[in-house]
Structure 1
Protein backbone atom coordinates (compact mmCIF):
# COMPACT_ATOMS: atom_id res chain seq x y z
CA UNK A 1 0.00 0.00 0.00
CA UNK A 2 1.24 3.50 -0.83
CA UNK A 3 2.25 5.63 2.15
CA UNK A 4 -0.12 8.27 3.45
CA UNK A 5 1.52 11.69 3.66
CA UNK A 6 -0.24 14.43 5.61
CA UNK A 7 0.91 17.98 4.88
CA UNK A 8 0.23 20.37 7.73
CA UNK A 9 1.16 23.85 8.95
CA UNK A 10 2.31 25.15 12.34
CA UNK A 11 1.10 22.93 15.15
CA UNK A 12 0.66 25.88 17.47
CA UNK A 13 -1.86 27.60 15.22
CA UNK A 14 -3.22 25.34 12.49
CA UNK A 15 -6.54 24.08 13.82
CA UNK A 16 -7.51 22.44 10.52
CA UNK A 17 -4.19 20.54 10.43
CA UNK A 18 -4.73 19.42 14.02
CA UNK A 19 -8.03 17.67 13.23
CA UNK A 20 -6.91 14.94 10.80
CA UNK A 21 -3.53 14.60 12.53
CA UNK A 22 -5.01 13.80 15.94
CA UNK A 23 -7.69 11.56 14.40
CA UNK A 24 -5.11 9.48 12.52
CA UNK A 25 -2.62 9.42 15.39
CA UNK A 26 -5.19 8.42 18.01
CA UNK A 27 -6.46 5.65 15.71
CA UNK A 28 -2.96 4.29 15.13
CA UNK A 29 -3.07 4.92 11.37
CA UNK A 30 0.46 4.96 9.91
CA UNK A 31 1.34 8.12 8.00
CA UNK A 32 4.21 10.45 7.22
CA UNK A 33 3.90 14.03 8.40
CA UNK A 34 5.35 16.98 6.55
CA UNK A 35 5.08 20.36 8.24
CA UNK A 36 5.36 23.54 6.16
CA UNK A 37 5.32 26.63 8.40
CA UNK A 38 3.11 29.57 7.57
CA UNK A 39 4.73 32.47 5.77
CA UNK A 40 3.47 36.07 5.77
CA UNK A 41 -0.29 36.16 5.88
CA UNK A 42 -0.46 32.55 7.06
CA UNK A 43 0.28 31.23 3.57
CA UNK A 44 3.16 29.48 1.82
CA UNK A 45 3.99 29.08 -1.90
CA UNK A 46 4.30 25.31 -1.46
CA UNK A 47 0.68 25.04 -0.38
CA UNK A 48 -0.34 25.82 -3.96
CA UNK A 49 1.88 23.00 -5.23
CA UNK A 50 0.30 20.50 -2.86
CA UNK A 51 -3.38 21.37 -2.84
CA UNK A 52 -5.80 22.89 -5.36
CA UNK A 53 -7.05 25.23 -2.63
CA UNK A 54 -3.58 26.47 -1.76
CA UNK A 55 -4.22 25.49 1.85
CA UNK A 56 -3.31 22.71 4.23
CA UNK A 57 -4.03 20.14 5.49
CA UNK A 58 -3.87 17.98 2.41
CA UNK A 59 -3.35 14.22 2.25
CA UNK A 60 -1.35 12.53 -0.52
CA UNK A 61 -1.82 8.80 -1.07
CA UNK A 62 -0.16 7.63 -4.24
CA UNK A 63 -1.86 9.65 -6.99
CA UNK A 64 -4.78 10.59 -4.72
CA UNK A 65 -4.99 14.08 -3.26
CA UNK A 66 -7.52 14.79 -0.51
CA UNK A 67 -7.99 18.24 1.01
CA UNK A 68 -10.18 19.62 3.80
CA UNK A 69 -9.97 18.07 7.27
CA UNK A 70 -13.22 16.11 7.33
CA UNK A 71 -12.72 14.76 3.80
CA UNK A 72 -9.25 13.53 4.85
CA UNK A 73 -10.70 11.77 7.88
CA UNK A 74 -13.42 10.13 5.76
CA UNK A 75 -10.86 8.96 3.21
CA UNK A 76 -8.60 7.48 5.87
CA UNK A 77 -11.60 5.73 7.45
CA UNK A 78 -12.22 4.03 4.08
CA UNK A 79 -8.58 3.01 3.67
CA UNK A 80 -8.38 1.77 7.28
CA UNK A 81 -11.93 0.56 8.06
CA UNK A 82 -10.81 -1.27 11.21
CA UNK A 83 -9.13 1.77 12.77
CA UNK A 84 -12.33 2.89 14.52
CA UNK A 85 -12.26 6.47 13.32
CA UNK A 86 -16.06 6.53 13.45
CA UNK A 87 -18.36 4.82 16.00
CA UNK A 88 -19.28 1.24 15.11
CA UNK A 89 -23.08 1.48 15.29
CA UNK A 90 -25.07 3.33 12.63
CA UNK A 91 -26.96 5.70 14.90
CA UNK A 92 -23.84 6.84 16.73
CA UNK A 93 -22.00 7.15 13.44
CA UNK A 94 -24.75 9.36 12.03
CA UNK A 95 -24.61 11.60 15.10
CA UNK A 96 -20.81 11.77 14.97
CA UNK A 97 -20.90 12.81 11.32
CA UNK A 98 -23.66 15.36 11.97
CA UNK A 99 -21.84 17.16 14.76
CA UNK A 100 -18.56 16.96 12.85
CA UNK A 101 -20.20 18.65 9.88
CA UNK A 102 -21.72 21.25 12.20
CA UNK A 103 -18.21 21.98 13.48
CA UNK A 104 -16.88 22.19 9.93
CA UNK A 105 -19.52 24.62 8.70
CA UNK A 106 -20.43 26.61 11.79
CA UNK A 107 -19.19 28.47 14.86
CA UNK A 108 -17.61 31.21 12.78
CA UNK A 109 -17.88 33.80 15.55
CA UNK A 110 -15.86 31.63 17.93
CA UNK A 111 -13.27 30.75 15.30
CA UNK A 112 -12.86 34.37 14.26
CA UNK A 113 -12.57 35.83 17.76
CA UNK A 114 -10.52 33.08 19.39
CA UNK A 115 -7.84 31.59 17.10
CA UNK A 116 -6.20 28.35 18.22
CA UNK A 117 -2.94 29.09 20.01
CA UNK A 118 -1.50 26.42 22.29
CA UNK A 119 1.12 28.83 23.66
CA UNK A 120 -1.38 31.53 24.61
CA UNK A 121 -1.59 32.27 28.36
CA UNK A 122 -5.11 31.82 29.70
CA UNK A 123 -6.76 35.21 29.43
CA UNK A 124 -10.34 36.31 28.81
CA UNK A 125 -11.13 38.81 26.08
CA UNK A 126 -14.10 41.02 25.29
CA UNK A 127 -16.28 38.77 23.18
CA UNK A 128 -17.91 40.01 19.98
CA UNK A 129 -21.47 39.07 19.15
CA UNK A 130 -22.18 35.44 18.43
CA UNK A 131 -19.37 33.88 20.46
CA UNK A 132 -21.52 33.23 23.53
CA UNK A 133 -24.13 31.47 21.40
CA UNK A 134 -21.43 29.36 19.72
CA UNK A 135 -20.01 28.32 23.09
CA UNK A 136 -23.45 27.41 24.41
CA UNK A 137 -24.25 25.29 21.37
CA UNK A 138 -20.94 23.42 21.56
CA UNK A 139 -21.41 22.74 25.27
CA UNK A 140 -24.88 21.38 24.51
CA UNK A 141 -23.47 19.06 21.84
CA UNK A 142 -20.78 17.80 24.19
CA UNK A 143 -23.19 17.31 27.08
CA UNK A 144 -25.74 15.45 24.96
CA UNK A 145 -23.16 13.11 23.43
CA UNK A 146 -21.39 12.46 26.73
CA UNK A 147 -24.66 11.67 28.51
CA UNK A 148 -25.61 9.32 25.70
CA UNK A 149 -22.25 7.50 25.57
CA UNK A 150 -21.10 7.72 29.18
CA UNK A 151 -17.79 9.31 28.07
CA UNK A 152 -14.98 9.98 28.55
CA UNK A 153 -15.11 11.02 24.87
CA UNK A 154 -18.13 12.04 22.84
CA UNK A 155 -18.91 8.49 21.72
CA UNK A 156 -17.15 6.61 24.49
CA UNK A 157 -13.86 5.88 22.76
CA UNK A 158 -11.94 8.65 20.99
CA UNK A 159 -13.34 9.16 17.48
CA UNK A 160 -13.24 11.50 14.51
CA UNK A 161 -15.89 13.64 16.21
CA UNK A 162 -13.52 14.38 19.09
CA UNK A 163 -10.81 15.21 16.55
CA UNK A 164 -13.09 17.71 14.84
CA UNK A 165 -13.70 19.51 18.14
CA UNK A 166 -10.10 19.28 19.40
CA UNK A 167 -9.15 22.89 18.55
CA UNK A 168 -12.23 24.11 20.42
CA UNK A 169 -10.80 22.57 23.59
CA UNK A 170 -7.81 24.89 23.26
CA UNK A 171 -10.02 27.87 22.47
CA UNK A 172 -12.25 27.31 25.47
CA UNK A 173 -9.20 27.04 27.73
CA UNK A 174 -6.96 29.77 26.29
CA UNK A 175 -9.72 32.39 26.25
CA UNK A 176 -11.28 31.28 29.56
CA UNK A 177 -14.69 30.71 28.00
CA UNK A 178 -16.21 27.94 30.11
CA UNK A 179 -16.63 26.89 33.73
CA UNK A 180 -19.14 23.99 33.59
CA UNK A 181 -17.79 20.90 35.36
CA UNK A 182 -18.84 18.45 32.63
CA UNK A 183 -17.26 20.62 29.96
CA UNK A 184 -14.02 20.86 31.92
CA UNK A 185 -13.95 17.08 32.51
CA UNK A 186 -14.26 16.42 28.78
CA UNK A 187 -11.55 18.98 28.03
CA UNK A 188 -9.28 17.30 30.57
CA UNK A 189 -9.86 13.91 28.90
CA UNK A 190 -8.90 15.44 25.56
CA UNK A 191 -5.81 17.21 26.85
CA UNK A 192 -4.46 14.11 28.56
CA UNK A 193 -4.87 11.86 25.50
CA UNK A 194 -1.41 10.75 24.26
CA UNK A 195 -2.10 12.07 20.75
CA UNK A 196 -3.00 15.51 22.11
CA UNK A 197 0.11 15.56 24.28
CA UNK A 198 2.34 14.64 21.35
CA UNK A 199 0.93 17.45 19.20
CA UNK A 200 1.08 19.97 22.05
CA UNK A 201 4.69 19.12 22.90
CA UNK A 202 5.72 19.76 19.31
CA UNK A 203 3.64 22.95 19.16
CA UNK A 204 5.23 24.41 22.26
CA UNK A 205 8.70 23.72 20.84
CA UNK A 206 8.04 25.57 17.56
CA UNK A 207 10.07 28.76 17.02
CA UNK A 208 7.58 30.50 14.73
CA UNK A 209 5.31 33.35 15.81
CA UNK A 210 2.23 34.21 13.76
CA UNK A 211 0.12 37.24 14.73
CA UNK A 212 -3.33 36.18 15.95
CA UNK A 213 -5.10 38.03 13.15
CA UNK A 214 -3.18 35.98 10.55
CA UNK A 215 -3.40 32.47 12.07
Structure 2
Protein backbone atom coordinates (compact mmCIF):
# COMPACT_ATOMS: atom_id res chain seq x y z
CA UNK A 1 0.00 0.00 0.00
CA UNK A 2 1.32 3.43 -0.89
CA UNK A 3 2.31 5.97 1.71
CA UNK A 4 -0.20 8.19 3.46
CA UNK A 5 0.55 11.86 4.06
CA UNK A 6 -1.44 14.02 6.44
CA UNK A 7 -1.31 17.79 6.02
CA UNK A 8 -1.97 19.55 9.33
CA UNK A 9 -1.87 23.01 10.88
CA UNK A 10 -0.17 24.24 14.04
CA UNK A 11 -0.38 21.58 16.72
CA UNK A 12 -0.94 24.22 19.37
CA UNK A 13 -4.13 25.50 17.77
CA UNK A 14 -5.49 23.17 15.09
CA UNK A 15 -8.18 21.02 16.68
CA UNK A 16 -9.35 19.80 13.28
CA UNK A 17 -5.86 18.50 12.50
CA UNK A 18 -5.60 16.68 15.82
CA UNK A 19 -8.60 14.42 15.20
CA UNK A 20 -7.36 12.28 12.26
CA UNK A 21 -3.76 12.55 13.48
CA UNK A 22 -4.68 11.06 16.85
CA UNK A 23 -6.87 8.36 15.32
CA UNK A 24 -4.07 7.26 13.00
CA UNK A 25 -1.45 7.32 15.73
CA UNK A 26 -3.60 5.47 18.23
CA UNK A 27 -4.57 2.75 15.76
CA UNK A 28 -1.04 2.27 14.46
CA UNK A 29 -1.42 3.61 10.92
CA UNK A 30 1.91 4.80 9.57
CA UNK A 31 1.94 8.16 7.80
CA UNK A 32 4.05 11.15 6.95
CA UNK A 33 2.98 14.54 8.19
CA UNK A 34 3.42 18.00 6.75
CA UNK A 35 2.71 20.93 9.05
CA UNK A 36 1.71 24.26 7.52
CA UNK A 37 1.61 27.14 10.03
CA UNK A 38 -1.79 28.81 9.76
CA UNK A 39 -2.63 32.50 9.30
CA UNK A 40 0.73 33.33 7.74
CA UNK A 41 0.87 35.26 4.45
CA UNK A 42 1.80 32.19 2.41
CA UNK A 43 -0.41 29.66 4.25
CA UNK A 44 -3.35 29.83 1.78
CA UNK A 45 -1.09 29.18 -1.20
CA UNK A 46 0.70 26.31 0.55
CA UNK A 47 -2.55 24.65 1.60
CA UNK A 48 -4.08 25.12 -1.85
CA UNK A 49 -1.21 23.09 -3.33
CA UNK A 50 -2.84 20.07 -1.70
CA UNK A 51 -6.56 20.87 -1.62
CA UNK A 52 -8.85 23.39 -3.36
CA UNK A 53 -10.86 23.69 -0.11
CA UNK A 54 -7.97 25.65 1.37
CA UNK A 55 -8.25 24.11 4.84
CA UNK A 56 -6.47 21.49 6.93
CA UNK A 57 -6.37 18.60 7.60
CA UNK A 58 -5.83 16.94 4.24
CA UNK A 59 -4.99 13.29 3.61
CA UNK A 60 -3.06 12.25 0.52
CA UNK A 61 -3.14 8.58 -0.50
CA UNK A 62 -2.53 7.06 -3.94
CA UNK A 63 -4.29 9.45 -6.29
CA UNK A 64 -6.80 10.46 -3.63
CA UNK A 65 -7.01 13.78 -1.84
CA UNK A 66 -9.37 13.71 1.13
CA UNK A 67 -10.13 16.86 3.09
CA UNK A 68 -12.31 17.32 6.18
CA UNK A 69 -11.43 15.47 9.37
CA UNK A 70 -14.50 13.22 9.44
CA UNK A 71 -14.18 12.29 5.77
CA UNK A 72 -10.53 11.41 6.39
CA UNK A 73 -11.41 9.13 9.30
CA UNK A 74 -14.16 7.39 7.34
CA UNK A 75 -11.78 6.89 4.41
CA UNK A 76 -9.21 5.36 6.76
CA UNK A 77 -11.85 3.07 8.25
CA UNK A 78 -12.59 1.75 4.75
CA UNK A 79 -8.91 1.51 3.84
CA UNK A 80 -7.91 -0.34 7.03
CA UNK A 81 -11.09 -2.31 7.84
CA UNK A 82 -9.43 -4.68 10.31
CA UNK A 83 -8.61 -1.84 12.72
CA UNK A 84 -11.03 -0.74 15.41
CA UNK A 85 -12.21 2.62 14.03
CA UNK A 86 -15.83 2.23 15.16
CA UNK A 87 -17.53 0.00 17.74
CA UNK A 88 -18.44 -3.48 16.52
CA UNK A 89 -21.93 -3.40 18.00
CA UNK A 90 -24.44 -1.83 15.59
CA UNK A 91 -26.19 0.33 18.19
CA UNK A 92 -22.91 1.54 19.69
CA UNK A 93 -21.53 2.23 16.21
CA UNK A 94 -24.58 4.30 15.26
CA UNK A 95 -24.30 6.31 18.47
CA UNK A 96 -20.55 6.80 18.01
CA UNK A 97 -21.13 8.14 14.50
CA UNK A 98 -23.96 10.41 15.72
CA UNK A 99 -21.93 12.01 18.51
CA UNK A 100 -18.90 12.37 16.24
CA UNK A 101 -21.04 14.20 13.69
CA UNK A 102 -22.53 16.35 16.45
CA UNK A 103 -19.04 17.30 17.57
CA UNK A 104 -18.00 17.88 13.99
CA UNK A 105 -20.78 20.35 13.22
CA UNK A 106 -21.86 21.74 16.57
CA UNK A 107 -20.78 23.47 19.77
CA UNK A 108 -20.03 26.78 18.08
CA UNK A 109 -20.09 28.77 21.32
CA UNK A 110 -17.42 26.53 22.83
CA UNK A 111 -15.30 26.81 19.70
CA UNK A 112 -15.57 30.60 19.60
CA UNK A 113 -14.98 31.28 23.27
CA UNK A 114 -12.63 28.46 24.26
CA UNK A 115 -10.33 27.97 21.29
CA UNK A 116 -7.74 25.21 21.52
CA UNK A 117 -4.40 26.38 22.84
CA UNK A 118 -2.21 23.61 24.27
CA UNK A 119 0.42 25.96 25.66
CA UNK A 120 -1.89 28.29 27.56
CA UNK A 121 -3.83 28.32 30.83
CA UNK A 122 -6.91 30.55 30.96
CA UNK A 123 -8.89 29.41 34.02
CA UNK A 124 -12.37 30.82 34.15
CA UNK A 125 -12.26 32.57 30.81
CA UNK A 126 -14.80 32.13 28.03
CA UNK A 127 -17.48 30.55 30.23
CA UNK A 128 -20.57 32.29 28.90
CA UNK A 129 -24.06 30.82 29.54
CA UNK A 130 -24.07 29.55 25.95
CA UNK A 131 -20.70 27.87 26.43
CA UNK A 132 -21.95 26.24 29.61
CA UNK A 133 -24.85 24.75 27.61
CA UNK A 134 -22.32 23.29 25.16
CA UNK A 135 -20.29 21.89 28.05
CA UNK A 136 -23.39 20.36 29.63
CA UNK A 137 -24.30 18.67 26.35
CA UNK A 138 -20.78 17.33 25.83
CA UNK A 139 -20.54 15.90 29.34
CA UNK A 140 -23.99 14.31 28.90
CA UNK A 141 -22.69 12.62 25.73
CA UNK A 142 -19.70 11.34 27.65
CA UNK A 143 -21.80 10.12 30.58
CA UNK A 144 -24.33 8.32 28.38
CA UNK A 145 -21.68 6.69 26.20
CA UNK A 146 -19.67 5.49 29.17
CA UNK A 147 -22.73 4.17 30.99
CA UNK A 148 -24.37 2.52 27.98
CA UNK A 149 -21.43 1.34 25.89
CA UNK A 150 -18.19 1.86 27.81
CA UNK A 151 -17.58 -1.73 28.84
CA UNK A 152 -14.09 -3.19 28.78
CA UNK A 153 -12.01 -0.02 28.82
CA UNK A 154 -12.21 3.65 29.78
CA UNK A 155 -13.06 5.17 26.40
CA UNK A 156 -16.53 6.30 25.31
CA UNK A 157 -17.40 2.99 23.65
CA UNK A 158 -15.07 0.66 25.50
CA UNK A 159 -12.09 0.60 23.14
CA UNK A 160 -10.69 3.71 21.48
CA UNK A 161 -12.67 4.81 18.41
CA UNK A 162 -12.98 7.77 16.07
CA UNK A 163 -15.43 9.27 18.57
CA UNK A 164 -12.64 9.58 21.14
CA UNK A 165 -10.40 11.26 18.58
CA UNK A 166 -13.14 13.78 17.86
CA UNK A 167 -13.57 14.73 21.50
CA UNK A 168 -9.83 14.87 22.28
CA UNK A 169 -9.57 18.60 21.38
CA UNK A 170 -12.42 19.27 23.80
CA UNK A 171 -10.44 17.57 26.56
CA UNK A 172 -7.55 19.92 25.82
CA UNK A 173 -9.88 22.92 25.88
CA UNK A 174 -11.29 21.87 29.25
CA UNK A 175 -7.76 21.69 30.64
CA UNK A 176 -6.75 25.08 29.24
CA UNK A 177 -9.84 26.79 30.64
CA UNK A 178 -9.99 24.72 33.84
CA UNK A 179 -13.55 23.54 33.25
CA UNK A 180 -14.98 21.75 36.26
CA UNK A 181 -16.30 18.28 35.42
CA UNK A 182 -18.36 15.53 37.05
CA UNK A 183 -16.41 12.44 38.05
CA UNK A 184 -17.38 10.37 34.97
CA UNK A 185 -16.32 13.15 32.59
CA UNK A 186 -13.17 13.85 34.59
CA UNK A 187 -12.14 10.18 34.49
CA UNK A 188 -12.77 10.10 30.75
CA UNK A 189 -10.78 13.29 30.19
CA UNK A 190 -7.86 11.82 32.11
CA UNK A 191 -8.02 8.67 29.99
CA UNK A 192 -7.72 10.72 26.81
CA UNK A 193 -5.02 12.97 28.24
CA UNK A 194 -2.93 9.94 29.25
CA UNK A 195 -2.70 8.62 25.69
CA UNK A 196 0.97 8.61 24.65
CA UNK A 197 -0.03 9.87 21.21
CA UNK A 198 -1.85 12.86 22.69
CA UNK A 199 1.11 13.60 24.95
CA UNK A 200 3.32 13.51 21.86
CA UNK A 201 1.05 16.09 20.20
CA UNK A 202 1.07 18.34 23.28
CA UNK A 203 4.86 18.25 23.57
CA UNK A 204 5.22 19.13 19.89
CA UNK A 205 2.73 21.99 20.35
CA UNK A 206 4.82 23.38 23.19
CA UNK A 207 7.88 23.42 20.94
CA UNK A 208 6.18 25.50 18.25
CA UNK A 209 7.16 29.14 18.11
CA UNK A 210 4.29 30.50 15.99
CA UNK A 211 1.71 32.66 17.75
CA UNK A 212 -1.79 33.23 16.33
CA UNK A 213 -3.06 36.33 18.16
CA UNK A 214 -6.77 35.61 17.80
CA UNK A 215 -6.30 32.33 19.68
CA UNK A 216 -4.43 33.96 22.54
CA UNK A 217 -6.08 35.58 25.56
CA UNK A 218 -4.86 37.41 28.61
CA UNK A 219 -3.79 34.95 31.30
CA UNK A 220 -5.62 37.12 33.83
CA UNK A 221 -8.76 35.43 35.10
CA UNK A 222 -12.03 37.10 34.24
CA UNK A 223 -13.34 39.18 37.14
CA UNK A 224 -9.97 39.65 38.84
- Per the shorter chain, which TM-score range? over 0.9
- Deviating above 6 A after TM superposition, structure 1's stretches of 4 or more consecutive aligned residues are none
The CA distance in 2 between the partners of 1:210 and 1:114, in whole Å, is 14
Q: How many residues align?
A: 214
Once the two structures are superposed, what CA deviation does each residue of 1:133-185 show, in whole Å capped at 9, x if it has no partner? 10000000000001122341001111100001110001111112223121111
Equivalence for 2:25:
25
C-alpha contact (below 8 Å) 1:9/1:35 kept by paired residues = yes
Give 1:165's aligned residue: 167
Q: Mind listing any 5+ residue stretches in structure 2 that lack a counterpart?
A: 217-224
Structure 1 segments unaligned to the other structure (5+ residues): none
The within-5 A match list for 1:131-210 is 131-148=131-148, 149-150=150-151, 151-210=153-212
Tell me which residue corresponds to 2:108: 108
- What does 1:34-183 align with in structure 2 at a 5 Å threshold? 34-40=34-40, 43-148=43-148, 149-150=150-151, 151-183=153-185
**How many angstroms apart in 2 are the aligned matches of 1:61 and 1:21?**
15
For 1:147 and 1:128, locate their aligned partners in 2 and report how far apart those are by CA, in whole Å: 28
Structure 2 CA distance for partners of 1:65 and 1:89, relative to 1, 3 Å: same
Q: Is the 8 A contact 1:43 1:55 kept in 2?
A: no
What whole-Å deviation, never above 9, does each CA across 1:17-36 have from its counterpart, x for those lacking one? 00000011101011111111
Shift of residue 43 of structure 1?
4.4
2: CA distance, partners of 1:70 / 1:42: 26
